Amino acid sequence: MALIVQKYGGTSVGSLALIHNVAAQVARVHARGDGIVVVASAMGDETDRLLDLARALIPHPEPRELDALLATGEQVSVALLAMVLCSMDIPARSYTGAQVRVRTSAVHGKARIEGIDTERLRADLQAGRVPVVAGFQGVSEHGDITTIGRGGSDTTAVALAVALKADECQILTDVDGVFTTDPRMVPQARCLARVSFEEMLELAGQGSKVLHLRAVEFARKYNMPLRVASAFRRGAGTLICEEESTVEAPVVSGIAFNRDEAEFSIFGLPDEPGTAYRLLKPVSDANIEVDMIVISASPQGRSDLSFTVHRDDYVQTKRIIEAILKGFPESTLEATDRVAKLSVVGVGMRSHAGVAARLFETMAREAINVRLVSTSEIKISLLVEEEKLERAVRALHTTYALSVQD
């Protein structure tokens, strides 16, 4: 008997008819005699609706209270799903994160899962019941309801799979699997049969929201096989697992992109030790994460510094930098929040030269200016004007022959 954790996302439980569809799929696994634990997200756009509700009342709601509100979305979907299952004579029980003790840190809105008590779930499984657990939420040591970050139900599912030593964690969603890029932007994108943990970490980290980054980190750390597949259609989907050394890896496996970027460029800074520190330390002290950083020397003992932050942090970062630049009267600042980042990812890059050259050739042909570049062993990221992003992704998708017909 296998043990499977299945997670259904917001779109997959977006209506009562869809909840029936999910129940039918759970029933199939149950009928096979396998153990199954279900994790569900809130219905459709419910989390956005709750957020809007709070913000319409108060621009900056108390984080503890916001978590108490947002967690209700998942509580509704798990209760409805468990009811339907019971009506089909499948013994099911819904649980909030606090009930199954998904223990998290106390950082409201981005709490980290620290452990899960599996006793109650194991007892259910032993008795042939189907636990239906609310994703995205947990409980802090003070007994407060926490949430673990947008898209976090994936991480709840993987953490449960790891805690229960499940055979596989299945993320069932509104696409057939992990594609070479977001199929909503590039309809010719191809569904990948396998992706290594390492590549998936880069893709998720660089903006492919098909999987929550921490879910991939967890799965990789505990070597939990992760499968992304459709909640609506049968199919094997994409298996995310350890890299197979026997299979020759494609040079580029996929392209991720992220529109949530803002760029700061400061020209004519003194070219001396400590300048970047003076500028970036106050930014990090304000809990703002800096992503790409480029420092380049320019003539007459001057240097230029460019960096990116999340678009939500644009206004605050600009205020901080403008204040510091009062101490650098000869420098000038250019700032924009109309930029986007795309990242070309593939483990095959390690052993193939020329990936970057083809990338820049493509950008040249498309007349797209590359503003910043950063690389890792298996990734090259480019910052471009937001309005050019789509054209850049489509062109690179063709360059690296990623489409279905290529």
- Site membership for ligand ASP, residue 97 (CB under 6 A): no
Q: Which of 126, 118, 127, 130 is nearest to 164 (CA)?
A: 118
- Site membership for ligand ADP, residue 9 (CB under 6 A): yes
Q: Can you tell me which of 44, 135, 250, 254 binds ligand ASP, judged by CB under 6 A?
A: 135
- Site membership for ligand ASP, residue 110 (CB under 6 A): no
> What is the contact mask toward ligand ASP in residues 30 to 59, using x (rule: CB under 6 A)?
-----------xx----x------------
- Site membership for ligand ASP, residue 12 (CB under 6 A): no
- Buried b / exposed e over 208-237, threshold 16 CB at 10 Å, is bebbbbbbbbbbbeeebbbbbbbbbeeeeb
Q: Can you tell me which of 184, 278, 338, 365 binds ligand ADP, judged by CB under 6 A?
A: 184
Residue type, 4: I
Residue 142: half-sphere exposure toward Cβ, Cα within 13 Å: 8
Q: Please give the residues from 108 up to 147 whose contact with ligand ADP meets the rule CB under 6 A.
A: none
Q: Which stretch binds ligand ADP (CB under 6 A): 71-79, 208-216, 287-295, 368-376?
A: 208-216
- Site membership for Mg ion, residue 151 (CB under 5 A): yes
DSSP letter string, 171-237: EEESSSS-BSS-TTT-TT--B-SEEEHHHHHHHHHTT-TTS-HHHHHHHHHTT--EEEEESSS----
Q: Which does 178 bind (CB under 5 to 8 A by kind): ligand ASP, ligand ADP, Mg ion, none?
A: ligand ADP
What is the C-alpha to C-alpha distance for residues 377 and 38, in angstroms, rounded to an integer? 36
- Site membership for ligand ASP, residue 346 (CB under 6 A): no
What is the C-alpha to C-alpha distance for residues 19 and 182, in angstroms, rounded to an integer? 25
Q: Please give the residues from 26 up to 45 whose contact with ligand ADP meets the rule CB under 6 A.
A: 41
Size of the site for ligand ADP (CB under 6 A): 19
Q: Can you tell me which of 4, 8, 10, 251 binds ligand ASP, judged by CB under 6 A?
A: 10
Q: Which stretch binds ligand ASP (CB under 6 A): 144-152, 291-299, 312-320, 350-358?
A: 144-152
What is the C-alpha to C-alpha distance for residues 400 and 370, in angstroms, rounded to an integer? 18
Nearer to ligand ASP, 131 or 151 (CB): 151
What is the C-alpha to C-alpha distance for residues 39 and 148, in angstroms, rounded to an integer? 14
Rounded least distance, CB 295 to ligand ADP, Å: 32
Compute CA distances 349 → 127, 189, 211, 338, 353, whole Å. 49, 20, 22, 29, 7
Rounded least distance, CB 145 to ligand ASP, Å: 14
Q: Can you tell me which of 35, 152, 237, 254 binds ligand ASP, judged by CB under 6 A?
A: 152
Q: Please give the residues from 205 up to 264 whose contact with Mg ion meets the rule CB under 5 A.
A: none
What is the C-alpha to C-alpha distance for residues 101 and 188, in angstroms, rounded to an integer? 43
- Site membership for ligand ASP, residue 208 (CB under 6 A): no
